[in-house]
Amino acid sequence: MNNPTEAKISVVLICRNEKKHLLGVIMSLLNQSLKPYEIIVADGMSEDGSYEYLLELSVAHPELKPCKNHLTYAPYGLNIGIKQAKGDYIMIAGAHTLYNKEYLKQTVCFLSENPAAQAAGGVATAFSVQGNTLQKSFCAVYSSVFGVGGSLHRYAKEITSADTVAYAVYRREVFQKYGYFNESLIRNQDIEFNYRITKTGGKIYVLPIDNLYKVPEGFIKFVLKNFSNGYWNYITLKISKKGIGFRHFVPFLFVLYILLCIITGVFVPLKTSLIICAPLFLYTGMDILFSFIQARIAKEPLQFFFNLFIFPILHISYGTGTLVSIIRGGEK
């Protein structure tokens, strides 16, 4: 296609009980500088009136096309939308994000100018809706390399190749070549799908386009979200042996190491125990350093003390999720 701005773009969005988020998300997509041809929203049998609300919105915005995801699972809903999509490009959107006005234009233009790229995505810039110090701390850890490691879609500042991306915009033919999202995976279906692309030499890129990702609203939701993400890592590995990278298991190894330190502290002489636990002091030092850096960036001195706590909570809750999944044999 000579002029990428003439391309048809289908947006596929899944939701379940997200009524309070839907208007902001959808309007940020409708108000793109490069208008989407259609926005297909697969509702996972919501109980909060989400589907009825979508139908109301579609009266004023006919490009909005609600449909039902009767099985409720994320990959099933995504596949429903993809199979209905008529666009030259297909974007996978999230319901907790407000999209940069130039997002579709910049990703589609990039794909048009880089034929070797199979997909491109942007940055999920953590955003606090409530604006309290705890939520700002969630934002800090999600935006730090110490917090999320190699998850480039959380903090990338330049165009770079990656193993997976947020809010991916795919060429339509990608699904014809690689199939659809694995419906056995309630989570990590995007990671596994993107692995199928990259393992055969396909390229996926993160573009430094900031989109506002709404972080969890409370501490319990934050812990449960990370626990669930970690839990599904082992299941993903069982289903697709190379479908998920080593970096996703680093928090699991960290949790095992903490357990080792606890055991040695009880049963091993103090001198030996201190040697074994020495790396834990290094981790503590890094926690202090990055907590200070993130608080200074935010210009929020009080946030430093929250960061000290939230960084290890992120790592431990995520790693514990993987540990529990392994103990349960990857039970879904």
**Residue 69 has which token pair?**
């995801």
Tally the C-alpha atoms within 13 A of residue 282's C-alpha that lie toward its C-beta: 7
Q: Per residue of the chain (332 residues), what is the pLDDT tens digit?
A: 567 778 999 999 999 999 999 999 999 999 999 999 999 999 999 999 999 999 999 999 999 999 999 999 999 999 999 999 999 999 999 999 999 999 999 999 999 999 999 999 999 999 998 889 999 999 999 999 999 988 899 999 999 999 889 999 999 999 999 999 999 898 899 999 999 999 889 999 999 999 999 999 899 999 999 999 999 999 999 888 777 888 899 999 999 999 999 998 888 888 888 899 999 999 999 999 999 999 999 999 999 999 999 999 999 999 999 999 999 998 87
**Residue 247 has which token pair?**
């970096």
Q: In whole angstroms, how far apart are CA 306 and each of 220, 224, 315?
A: 15, 18, 15
Residue 205: φ, ψ to 5°: -125, 145
Q: Is 14 exposed, middle or buried (0-12, 13-18, 19+ CB in 10 A)?
A: buried
Longest dimension (CA), the chain: 72
Residues 67-71: contacts with CB under 8 Å, at least 24 apart: 67/40, 67/41, 67/42, 67/43, 68/42, 68/43, 69/14, 69/16, 69/42, 69/43, 69/44, 69/45, 70/45, 71/44
Q: How far apart are CA 7 and CA 109, in angstroms?
A: 10
| pTM to 2 decimal places | 0.91
State the angle between helix axes of 219-239 and 250-267 in degrees (0 to 180), rounded to the nearest 10: 110
Tally the C-alpha atoms within 13 A of residue 255's C-alpha that lie toward its C-beta: 20
Q: How far apart are CA 8 and CA 326, in angstroms?
A: 43
Contact indicator for 258, 277 with CB cutoff of 8 Å: no
Q: What is the DSSP letter of 4?
A: G
Domains of the chain: 4-218 (3.90.550.10), 246-327 (no CATH)
